[in-house]
Amino acid sequence: MKRFIVANLLSIALIITTATTSFAQDVLRPAAVVNDDIISLLDVAQRTQLVIVSSQRKNTPQIRQRMLRQVIGILVDERLKLQEAERLNITISDAQIQNALSSVAKQNNMTPQQLTTGLRKQGVLPITLFDQFRADLAWRAVVSTRLRSSVNISDAEVEEVVAKLQSKGSTTEKRIFEIFLGVDTVSDEANIKKQADEIINTIKNGGRFSALARQVSQSNSAGLGGDLGWLQTAQLSPELQPAVDSASIGSLVGPIRTKRGYYVILVQDQRSARSEQKVHLKQFFFALPANPSFEQSQLVQSKAADAKRKFEGCRGMDLLAEELGDEGSGDMGTLNTKDLPATTKEAVSNTATGETTSIIQVSGGIAVIAVCDRQESGGVDRLAIQEKLRNDRLDTLARRYLLDLRRSSNVDIRL
């Protein structure tokens, strides 16, 4: 009977703006107290409605009741995050909230005004969404302030992943989205598994994966709708890899139990891994005015041809470039061919290592470019690997941080 009453109060609380004084007092009573902060029944009702609307779940008393514990848990964590941000003197400005609103509206092909109006029509006060933004942004700032500087990814760690990818010989990348639900205690196991199963059912019945990820996922990717980007499956944890390996485009995978909790995975797309190349370049550069005369062009072409003739290898080129070329000549560093201008990329691609290109047009003049070294990446993006390793480690540290906050706080759930 108590559950039935709570479910109905949650539904009725959505119309508090037209309620009587006594009823308003009822829906504003505490659903939970986090240290000295109150989470009201209205807060719970509004967040529940936001999750239902954004993820396109069915709106029934039974669904709302099943979501109750999950939503209260999310709100408790958000209060803890905001309290920690306040302790660290971290504040989130209204401009940051508006930027977050604009970003979500754009992802839904709406203006911010259209988004907030649509929420109101479906019983969600915009401040409910703003409160979620504020907690998310505050926590990111806390994690960045307290944890990011302690996370250092070594070259050896990156190369270990590179070696693993190369040993697999995979030529395929998958566009992967995730929803993660952490299991922090044995007593949470059954409830979290049930939540994961319900997420699967919701998505299969038309619910939006990215919206659910944004509302309920506990990973850093939640703010991106669970988007992990393009990955080779060998970059995933061993618990996830086999299931994702065998998943076809559009497949929903899970729930998968890992050491940390449950994952629900969406494989949105698939492509061949990009084969990229890094090149170490040096150049003779010769400046030209915007509209050079015939004589100016001929003179500069002659200088470039002379430099090309005198080139005897990359080792002695720095001094030669300084002697013969204009400002901008010399070592260009190691560059990814995909980042080069089209003309330069084509010329470099057609030039053997240790040789120079033909004389080519470049921004501000002409150049002769020497290809001093080549590194085939085989589709491996080391910077992306480093960033994923860093984010994974930050994710783990942030979860421990939040767990410590829970343990040291006074949390009283009253429903």
Q: Write the DSSP assignment of 157-185 as a string of letters.
A: HHHHHHHHHHHHT--EEEEEEEEEEE--S
pLDDT (mean) for 332-351: 84
Average pLDDT along the chain: 83
Cβ(181)–Cβ(216) below 8 Å? yes
CA 213 to chain centre: 12
Q: Are 226 and 266 in contact (CB under 8 A)?
A: yes
Flag whether pLDDT at 295 surpasses 50.
yes
Looking at residue 409, the DSSP 8-state letter turns out to be S
| Per-residue CA distances from 6 to 198, 303, 351 (Å) | 20, 85, 73
So what's the pLDDT on residue 12? Answer: 45
Closest C-alpha among 139, 147, 84 to residue 396 = 147
Contact 122, 53 (CB under 8 A): yes
Q: Determine the Cα–Cα distance for residues 266 and 178; give it in Å rounded to an integer.
A: 6
Q: Is-contact 332 356, C-beta < 8 A? A: no
Tokens 């659903």: give the residue: 31
Give 163's pLDDT tier (boundaries 50, 70, 90): confident
Give the predicted TM-score (pTM) of the model: 0.65
d(CA 220, CA 392): 8
Is residue 124 within 8 Å of residue 50, measured between CB atoms?
Answer: yes
What structural domains and CATH numbers belong to the chain? 2-146 (1.10.4030.10), 162-274 (3.10.50.40), 277-376 (3.10.50.40)
Q: What is the mean pLDDT of residues 314-330?
A: 83
Question: Which of 114-128, 221-235, 346-360 comes out lowest in average pLDDT?
Answer: 221-235
| Residue 350: both structure tokens together | 């057609």
Least confident of 15-24, 56-65, 190-199, 328-337: 15-24
